[in-house]
Amino acid sequence: DRQDELDSLNKVHHIIIGYDKIEEYNININILRNVFLKGKDLLITAIYNGDHPGLAAQVDNFIALKENKGYVWGAIDAIEKGLNFINTMPASREIVLLTNFDGIFFSEERYNWLIDDFIKSGKPFGAGMPRSHKYPLTDLMLFRKEFVSSFYEGMYKVIPEKVDWECEKHILSTLRVIGDVDKLWWKFERDTEWNGGRGYTFHKKYAFGHLHAKDNIKIKMDEYDTYEKGSV
């Protein structure tokens, strides 16, 4: 059973990374800041692989990367930059949660569930475990603050394979560089829901969607009533 109310948002530094999902970014930030009743408690940092005006609104920190290294290495670069930024902060929060621009939570309560479950796991890293492969799903990852430096340094120690390299492979290889993967990784099974030819697009337990396009997002917003009070 869950407590009636959980209060985890003031423990979280939420990092959001991306390049071309601008519409999704704007919806995402609005939900985190304005729909979540305690959204102002979140510390939010955006890492952007591009040059687009007006994206900085309602986030605490906005970092535009000077070079976009492409689909795979651009994401790896953004993750590294986000975690390194955490290391430069004089006071860091207990939990770092990292999502894509189009990785959206539709329930504040279930967001809190995720944070609470991760803390209870006692492990320093969390990510979804798909049924279809062995790699962590990188659209939603969690880190304990004391693990951020180790993970950041581990990412640089990974030697990529010459072909077929993916962000998910880099993350699993990073965990292997650091230590025993099973002791480090809190694995939560991700629902296999499909959308637009893509799998693992929505996770019911934590009301998290990796959704492209406003119409797909609106379906979940309607389902979970993810709107500001008094808004239509």
Question: pLDDT tens digit string along 73-121?
Answer: 888 899 999 999 988 888 789 999 999 999 999 999 999 999 999 999 9
Query: In terms of Cα–Cα distance, which of 203, 228, 231, 230 is closest to 40?
Result: 228
Q: What is the pLDDT of residues 115-164, one digit of tens each?
A: 999 999 999 999 998 887 789 999 999 999 999 999 999 998 998 877 77
Cα torsion through 113, 192, 35, 95, rounded to 10: 40
- Dihedral (CA of 105, 110, 112, 113) sign: negative
Amino acid, single-letter form, for residue 69? K
Whether the CB-CB separation of 192 and 199 falls below 8 Å is answered with yes
pTM of the model as a whole: 0.92
Query: What is the chain's mean pLDDT, rounded?
Result: 89
Sign, CA dihedral 12-17-23-26, equals positive
